Structure 1
């Protein structure tokens, strides 16, 4: 579950912490040996804790370590060292081989998918409604209970729908159940497999696997090399950060903690959200309200934008071509610090792909999640809640900071329209979770959403519910809403559009996915 602390999240953190320590502290000539020893450090006892074998536990830790360094998993049928390929990854620039989301074969529990079975709640009722509705006579009575013959069952679910005792359950892979685009399949061994042609890298499968068998590749190992070399590395942090690192960690403390970690400057991504809200307000007022475009799709969520682009190419012209908050902030940073490495810090795994797409110059050099940043703090002995407040953020307005919650993007754009285009009437729609997003796009394609500004969020709940978050979604939402209420500036000045957007868009590229 997103934001729920479990043994899986603890295991993941331990791997990230140890990899971060190696990246920060080990000399290059010693890194391979340290990585080879990492599985044994994580599972130091000979008695397994989570698996039936200590060797399996260590094998899984080895794959997690490789993914944390941005390396691909080892083949299952060849002897390959944990550190194999490490020379290519020990650099101060992004090292990445697709795909982003991967199933660790040795960690998958081979969960059964789409299987109906009778539980001990069955009371052997006289009506036998389950038997009556079954179209294939797959249900019989065995030892005083209903029994489903799996060879005959066609998975229609009619028996489950009519059972008065709710005694028939459906077993589904948790990862498959959480995937809104049905990208989770089954391989020849019964293990989960991700169809990369369908996957949009939202990470919901990763956070919903109860065995921690799905992981994404990290870029923080390479980013640490830049910090370690003393390069100018600038952080831009997404508005969902508030409260992620402890209830007592104020914006001032997280700002100071990032500086202590080695970042030269820290900016709010909400600054780019202000820019984007102004730009998309103008696009809606001048193109949708005039009928030039049937509707406008926001583009700040990469999974939503890619869903629209790949599965609904007919409406691609309606995807906003204005800069996403991540890119707008990065470009404004590059104007002030042209030689700096820019690091996006947020809750989203899919941003790693947005930053690296070659069709758009993102100006983002690395993307790390709150989960990875938390591990970096631990590795360096930095405790954000104990840091003295020395500086804070003064970059963004309330509406830009509200982007982190579902509905916040559309609300920000609407407020800008009401302020600067008062004669334009707005129609707002928003969807969250890829399944709901897909339904929304189908309606838009069918002409049912003409005249609308449509916000889509790949994660149910918005950015605060991303795969890289650390706290429960409800708590994260309250924290963002509190920050929005307490912001001194409510709405960006119109001048920001003229000053920033012309310069930022001068590259002549199409800034949507």
Structure 2
């Protein structure tokens, strides 16, 4: 399903960003109010829905009380807490004090439906619209395999009890008078994880969800949201921890301007971060690792190899095609590799991945990744922090390049669909210029599934497969701020500025030891989730 709302600043966009901003503002304000008690915290959060939605007249829905109830739930999710609902007396601040600690991990599940915000959209229903002409031919009736269509008052009528949702009637009608209703979130979910509860409201099967986030950005009612660690990150900064951000290649243009790393570093410094590095550096290392694996394993040991950097695609492929799980690269992702690089120089730092992706939050729940990455924030959450501190990105001065050497153009190109495979092929050709490397790529989990089915049937033997859960690549992630085409163009422009085209150029040889550890391969699927009181059943 096309993402029709991306790049459009809607009322829903405004509410989401207000929530992130105001939550961040409260946490930051504690530095100016050391005298605050737990009661002061509770009062600040309990009053927050009234600050975000002042007055007594509804703006977005039929009731201001409903609006505030929904905002209250989104505030709890932004803190990392679970939803409460409206079926009992409650305070928005319940559990807030416990959550406002740097070491607290958010409670499962990661992706949530705010039930009373859901519009109970029709899902997979064919209905006749007013454009029906009651034509003489009645092709819709004649083609229906279940005789579900009759004519009432000279117009077609579909008996929903008999309808099997085959869609033949809609495709046959010469007036296009039969409409297929789909729940937007369910249509966007490539895992088929969204169904309906007994009241017709959206419900997520957490056993299927891979946290790709497409439901979050396709629900026009804002009824689906994921949890955040924005409060915990700020709290860690305020406690005096060394907090270093590693920013995904898709950052370019997300906050305005042309995406200079130095300008972005200035913004992060004002937010309290101790440092900033590009995850494109880890993308270079991932490229090297996957190139070496492909040469060693395909086709002698494995029929094909799939890339590893998109966790949603990787989990889907391993979960649904277990007999080919080993064909998905076990190379560590750019996020984890970059965090590992940073830890070689800052062993006691808290590391925050900042990127476009809600699935990275799921990846960080793995025990081995959690040991490298402490927090995950999206660009949208980071923008809320900037707004809370009054930072205007465009007015900032460039603070210079990173401590590491600059990433290659190929590493920076990971953010755009096709970029990962292209980088790996270029790395292979560096040492084997005459070797033909066949590539297939897919965007969106449904297309990824089709690609894997073809690969399982032998269509892609000897191929390198690139899977991206988000159509367009990481620039289309659920936590991005700008239109996909604009972001992709900005990433490509920024990549061209690198003095190094290929990940294998000599500047990165010194970083290869980062790869050479006993645990330098990510294992199958979800078998190493965190074993903590806060997270025992995270998928």
Please, what TM-score do these two structures have when normalized by structure 2?
A: 0.92
Deviations 1:211-270 (A, max 9, x none): 010000001110000111221111110111111112455433222111221111110000
The question of whether the paired residues in 2 share the 8 Å contact of 1:332 and 1:504 is answered with no
Are residues 1:333 and 2:337 paired?
no
Per-residue CA deviation, residues 136-185 of structure 1 (Å, 9 max, x unaligned), is 33222233322223233232211111001111101110001101111001
Moved over 6 A (4+): none
Please tell me whether the aligned partners of residues 398 and 490 of structure 1 are also in contact (alpha carbons under 8 angstroms). Answer: yes
Deviation at 1:368, TM superposition (A): 0.3
- 1:180-329 to structure 2, matched below 5 A, reads 180-247=190-257, 250-289=260-299, 291-329=300-338
Give 2:131's match in structure 1, choosing from 121, 125, 138. 121
Query: How far has the Cα of 1:31 moved from its partner?
Result: 1.5
CA distance in 1, matches of 2:493, 2:217: 26
Q: Which secondary structure state, in structure 2, belongs to the residue aligned with residue 125 of structure 1?
A: coil
Pairing partner for 2:483 from 465, 472, 477:
472
Give the structure 2 partner of residue 24 of structure 1: 28
Compute the displacement of 1:465 (Å).
0.3
Check if 1:390 corresponds to 2:399: yes
Match of 1:462 in 2: 473
Aligned-partner SS, 1:367: strand
Aligned to 2:378: 369
Rounded to whole Å, the distance in 2 between the matches of 1:351 and 1:477 is: 20
Q: Secondary structure at the match of 1:356?
A: coil
- Preserved contact between residue 129 and residue 179 of structure 2 (Cα < 8 Å): yes
How far apart, CA to CA, are the structure 1 residues paired with 2:317 and 2:389? Answer: 41
TM (normalized to structure 1)?
0.96
8 Å CA contact 2:251–2:259 kept in 1: the answer is: no
Q: Does the alignment pair 1:178 with 2:188?
A: yes
Name the CA distance, whole Å, in 2 between partners of 1:293 and 1:35. Answer: 54
Determine if the alignment matches structure 1 residue 166 to structure 2 residue 170.
Answer: no
Residue 439 of structure 1 is matched in structure 2 by: 450
Q: Relative to structure 1, is the Cα distance of residues 493 and 147 closer, same or farther in structure 2, using a 3 angstrom cutoff? A: closer
What is the SS of the residue equivalent to 2:364?
helix
Kept in 2: contact 1:235–1:267 (CA 8 A): yes
Deviation at 1:495, TM superposition (A): 4.8
1:21 and 1:380 in contact (8 A); partners too: yes
Pick the aligned partner of 1:350 from 351, 359, 363: 359
Distance 1:392 1:360 in 2: 27
Q: Do the aligned residues in 2 keep the contact of 1:341 with 1:365 (CA within 8 Å)?
A: yes
Partner of 2:535: none
Give the number of equivalent residue pairs.
Answer: 512
Query: What residue in structure 1 maps to residue 516 of structure 2?
Result: 505
The 1:415/1:172 distance shift into structure 2, 3 A limit, reads: same
Gaps of 5+ in 2: 526-539
